[in-house]
Amino acid sequence: MPCMIIAGGQWGDEGKGKIVAYLALTDRPKIIARAGVGPNAGHTVNYKGRTFGLRQIPSGFVYEGARLLIGPGVLVNPEVVLKELEMTGTANRFGVDRRCAVIEPAHIEQDTKSEYLQGKIGTTGTGCGPANVARVSRTAKLAEEVPELKPFLADVPAELNEAIDHGSLVFVEGSQGFGLSLIHGTYPYVTSKDTTASTLAADVGVGPTKVDEVMLVFKAYTSRVGLGPFPTEISQEKAEELGIVEFGTVTGRRRRIGLFDFALAKRAVMINGATQLTLTNLDRMFKGAAKVRRWRDLPSDAKDYVDKIEKELGVPVTIISTGSEVEDVIDLRSEKL
C-alpha cells in the first residue's frame, strides 16, 4: 500500500495524531505529508514520557526515518511551524511546499474579532478562515515569500509522487473530521474547506488513482468542540459519570460528548471511500480494555461493540486504541489474535 490517507470520521478529536504516530513507527513510511486546513487542528502524541501537541508538523515525526512535509493546500503559520520544528528536533527532514498560503497577524485578528465567527460558529481563532478567504481572493502571501521558511521550501507533490512511483510507502495525514467539512459537514458550523479524503489527496498533490488505502478514524463515542448540531450528545453530567471529560488541543475548550453516531459514521465511510477503520478511546467505554494490546485480552462486551461497529459500517476495524500512549494499540491488520 504505497499511499495511505488517514482521515477523521467525526468532528475531529478522533485521535488521528496518536494513530499516525503508531502507524509511522510500525510501517516505517518514507514520507508523511500533512494535509487539511492548517493550524486550527491539534494532534496530540504521547511518546516516551512526553506529550506533543502538534498543529502543523506531521504526527509521525516519532519515526526518525520519515521525511516530513506540509502540502500546498495547507495554510501555514510560520511562527507555529518554527516552534514545532524546535520542539520535535526535525528541521533536518522537514519541508513545506512553496505554494502554501500563509496566515498573517491580520487574519488572526479578523478571526478573533468577528462577532459572527466567534458567537455563532465558535471559531478556533487561528486565522484559517480569513486566510482561506485571502487565498480565494488571490491576495494571500505564499510560503516562498517568507524568509524564515526559505530553508525548508519543497515541491511536495513532486516528492510524494516520485516516492509512490518507486513503490515507497507514504502517509497523508488529514486534520479535522468529516462532520467539519465545508461541503459535507454540518454547515455553517464547519471549517473553511473540505476535509474528506479526496481533498486531503489534493492538498498534497496526489491523484485519486495513486491512493491505495483510506484509514478512517473514529472514537468509540463522539465528541465535538464548539457549536453546531450534535444528535447523539449527552449531558456533561452524564459524560462525567462515564469518566469522559476532554478539552480541545488548540482551543482548550471543553469537548461536548455523545454516543457513537452510526448515521454520521456511515456517511463518512461512504464519502471518504474508507477501506479500513480505526477505533480509538475504547478504554473510555470499557474500563477492562485499558492498555490491552491483544484482541483476545479484550472484555467480551468490548469485542461485541467493535464487531457491531464493523458490521454496521461494512468496513473492517483494523486498529484499536486502548490508551493514550502510542504503544497502547491492538493491531488487527493481520488477524484477530
Longest dimension (CA), the chain: 57
Distance in angstroms (rounded) separating the CA atoms of residues 132 and 75? 8
Neighbours of 273 (CB within 10 A): 17
Q: In 10 A of CB 151, how many CB atoms?
A: 10
From residue 190, alpha-carbon distances to 17, 82, 307 in Å are 20, 28, 31
Of 18, 36, 46, the residue nearest 280 (C-alpha): 18
Give which of 74, 84, 91, 274 is closest to 176, Cα–Cα. Answer: 74
CB-based contact 111:250 (threshold 8 Å):
no
Dist. CA 305–CA 265, nearest whole Å: 15
Structural contact between residues 197 and 273, judged by C-beta atoms closer than 8 angstroms: yes
The reply to whether 13 belongs to the active site is: yes
* The amino acid at 205: G
Quote the CA–CA distance of 301 and 305 in Å, as a whole number: 6
**How far, in Å, CA of 246 to CA of 120, rounded?**
22
**Beta strands across the sheet bearing 276-280:** 153-154, 94-97, 67-70, 31-34, 170-173, 3-8, 213-219, 276-280, 317-321, 329-331
Beta bridge partners of 257: 223
Q: Please pick, among 27, 43, 165, 283, the residue that the annotation labels catalytic.
A: 43
Beta bridge partners of 329: 321
- Please state, in angstroms and rounded to a whole number, the distance separating the CA atoms of residues 279 and 292: 13
Question: Which residue among 13, 111, 194, 203 is the active-site one?
Answer: 13
> Is 203 marked active-site?
no
Q: Give catalytic residues, as residue numbers.
A: 13, 43
